[in-house]
A = this chain, B = another copy of it.
Amino acid sequence: MPSFAQRVATMEKSAAIIRNLFGSMTDPDIISFGGGAPAREALPMNVLREIASEVLAPDKRGFEAFSYGPPIGMLELREIIVNDLLAPKGVKTNPGNVLIGSGGLEAINLICQVYIDPGDIILVERPTFVHCVEIFEMFQATCISCQMDDDGLVIEDVEEKIKQYNPKFVYTIPTFQNPTGKTLSLERRKKLAEIGTKYDVIILEDDPYRDIRYSGEELAPIKAFDNSGHTVLANSFSKIFSPGSRLGYVVASDEVTKRLFDAKTATNSHTGMISQVLCAEFFKRGLYPAHHKMICDLYRTRRDVMLECIDKFFPEGTVHTYPDGGLFTWAELPGGVNTTELLKEAIQHKIAYAAGEGFFTDGNGLGTNCMRISFGSVIPDRIRLGAERLCKVICS
């Protein structure tokens, strides 16, 4: 058979991690803290069924929903993004600067299509979201990680590495970061936007969790401080609406949006119109604010239960983050535990998490005592049961 493209080898390591993550989600008896899916209770199923039943009729929006759509995305939904989701956060933009893609990951993929050549450097967080590392490696970029502390990326380290490596992107998940749940401080957000301009580097801001804030103070996106177009914002409807709808978006300058349009037409031409119609109707009918409050309340409870259980059951010396939003916490275990090894045993005991190691691009044994614990999709009683099971495995 003909040889595969070179990117197949470049992406092999991260692809294997992703394959494993998907593979471990299939057994319904397992209490999984491993995935990143929203709660079943956070999906507005009944209301979407009603909307579908009404608007998919031929004399309503059926033709639009079942036809080819504009590659840049449905205007009405782009207006909702601009007015309902971005303007209140201090991001001023126009529908012409928003491109809708098939989920937040496609938003990242498309911006790579526009910018990344083999050998380019991308600065990432340490640890970072492995699924995006897979994308970066498919584009044959090299990921270099930067230090984080409790306030997110350490700006001095980013600046130093920009000088050293001349990267194309600084990739950051500033709010309730995946995998740590940490949030970049306001001051650092301003500085990152400035650094993008100063060093002519794209700040790729991936912000899918930002609207699931259930404590602490709201912070403006990095994009709100961008005066030069160097910050490109990617976001997703997966966590606030529905992952199965595959809706995400990129906010960028005129010139970049034009190239994103080309990359989109050469990827899959347009994003599913059934989803876009249902999502636009959901917002247009004013259903989002109450839904948003409901999901934030739901996830706050789950976080509280999860952290309480970690404090109660996990071995002394365990350190965990205290996320003000999102779906994850990150725990560092004491006593030389290897979480990759432990996971096999955990799965025998019908409990899963995401082993920490996979979120570090550097290797070198980083994160081998860490785990990402996703509480978002597990009901409180099962969080308690799962935490107990997990502790037994850790302490055995």
* A residues apposed to B, CB below 8 Å: 1-2, 4-8, 11, 15, 18-19, 22, 35, 37, 40, 43-46, 48-49, 52-53, 56-58, 62-71, 101-103, 105-106, 109, 113-117, 131, 134-135, 137-138, 168, 200-202, 229-230, 238, 242-246, 253, 255-256, 259, 261-263, 265-275, 278
Contact = CB atoms under 8 A, between A and B. Distances in A.
Contacts of A22: 70-71, 265
A5 B115 contact: yes
28 contacts: A1-B200, A2-B202, A5-B113, A8-B259, A8-B262, A18-B266, A19-B261, A37-B68, A40-B63, A43-B63, A43-B67, A45-B57, A45-B58, A46-B57, A52-B52, A52-B56, A66-B245, A68-B244, A69-B244, A102-B246, A103-B269, A105-B269, A109-B266, A137-B266, A138-B266, A244-B273, A245-B273, A245-B274
Contacts of A230: 1
Closest 8 A-B residue pairs measured CB to CB?
A244-B273, A53-B53, A45-B62, A106-B268, A49-B56, A52-B52, A66-B242, A15-B262
Contacts of A269: 103, 105, 131
B267 A246 contact: no
Given A45-B57, A49-B52, A71-B22, A200 B2 contact: yes
A117 B6 CA distance: 7
A22 B261 CA distance: 11
Contacts of A245: 66, 272-274
A49 B45 contact: no
Identify the interface centre among A18, A68, A275: most chain B CB within 10 Å of its CB.
Answer: A68
Contacts of A201: 2
- Copies per complex? 2
A261 to B, nearest CB: 7
Nearest to A50: B53
A261 B109 CA distance: 15
Contacts of A18: 262, 265-266
Contacts of A52: 49, 52-53, 56
A245 B115 CA distance: 29
Nearest to A68: B243
Contacts of A263: 138
A102 B8 contact: no
A37 B66 CA distance: 11
Contacts of A15: 262, 265-266
Contacts of A70: 22
A192 B196 CA distance: 52
A138 B259 CA distance: 11
A307 to B, nearest CB: 25
Contact of A62 (B19, B43, B69, B261): B43
A164 to B, nearest CB: 17
A265 B131 contact: yes
Contact of A65 (B67, B131, B244): B244
A253 B1 CA distance: 11
Contacts of A58: 45-46
A68 B35 CA distance: 10
Given A102-B268, A113-B138, A245-B273, 20 more contacts: A1-B256, A5-B117, A22-B71, A37-B67, A43-B62, A43-B66, A45-B58, A49-B62, A52-B52, A52-B53, A53-B53, A67-B244, A68-B238, A69-B244, A102-B246, A103-B270, A105-B266, A138-B263, A246-B270, A272-B274
Nearest to A199: B2
